[in-house]
Chains A and B, each alone.
Chain A
Amino acid sequence: MSERNDKVAAMLAADAPAGRDLAFEIAVLTKIERRRFVRETARNLAVATGVALLLGLLMPQFDWAGAFAAGWNVGLAQLSSNTLLMAVLLIAASAAWYYRPRANA
């Protein structure tokens, strides 16, 4: 039984790939980097889209003329405190999510 096992094991090992295959290792690492790049790009795109939408919603309330004429505090005064708070919280949450500690960067 053991002799037969050894024979089968030897036959199975006979066609094994090389112990060191740089091309294969590089292919694996390339795939990992490519996926990471796609994921990061998609995330950045989503964040940018969200910020753009938010700005699009907020900007109509911003008094550009007042801001340039009398200072930014005048322009910002047009925004309700709730809207400002929401924007600050959103930016803080986005930053916290983006810079969170991760197992795989």
Chain B
Amino acid sequence: MTASDSETAWVQGARAASADDFSQLVRLNQQALRAFLRRLTGNHAEADDLAQEAFVFAWEKIHRFDATRPFRPWLFGIAWRKYRERRRGWRRLLLRESGWAESQATVTEADPGLKLDLAAACARLPAEQRAALLLCLGCDFSHGEAAEALSLPLGTVKSHIARGRRQLAAFLGETP
């Protein structure tokens, strides 16, 4: 049984209200989803909170999910929408800003050079561009999957990635 077969079986199980199968899906996807959200938000605590919300929402709406399609883009799409909803709230904005300062301190402790540069470079990209770049370069999404997750046209995702890559390289002091 391949990983894809296992995922399909777990999705079917979760649709039949199996919490065990859904926990397998959580186990399978938590690392990539949290890494994506950490880069997107710049705050580990907020990212984990968003990831949990996304998983809970996925559980509640999994009966609407088309089991013939891949699960990951759907899940990441939920997380992306949760992130955007949260950005709209001004209270959340204040929390995020204070959390961002804290996370910077954490990142600096972990690795002063590389991580700080990358975090700063990512933070300067527009949210959609950052998300597209993170999905395709950081989470091995195809352009099509990223387009599905972000609810964007394929061409827009491709241009976001090309532009984002150039800007990231420029921020990191490389010549494109």
Interface residues of A (CB under 8 A from B): 4-5, 8-9, 11-21, 24-25, 27-29, 31-32, 35, 102-105
Q: How many contacts A-B (CB < 8 Å)?
A: 87
Which residues of chain B come closer than 8 Å to A104, judged between CB atoms? 17, 59-60, 62-63
* Interface of B, helix, strand, loop or mixed by DSSP: helix
Which residues of chain B come closer than 8 Å to A8, judged between CB atoms? 137, 165, 168-169
- CB B18 to nearest CB in A, in angstroms, measures 10
Which residues of chain A come closer than 8 Å to B34, judged between CB atoms? 16-17, 24
Q: Number of residues in B with C-beta < 8 Å to the partner?
A: 37
Beyond A31-B52, A32-B59, 10 additional contacts (C-beta under 8 Å) are: A4-B169, A8-B165, A15-B110, A17-B34, A24-B26, A25-B26, A28-B26, A31-B56, A104-B17, A104-B63
Q: Mark B110-129, 1 if CB is under 8 A from A, else 0.
A: 11001100100000000000
In the assembly, what is the distance between CA of A19 and CA of B32, in Å?
A: 9
Q: Is the CB of B35 within 8 A of A12?
A: yes
Which residues of chain A come closer than 8 Å to B85, judged between CB atoms? none
- With A11-B114, A12-B35, A13-B35 given, is the CB distance from A21 to B60 under 8 Å? no
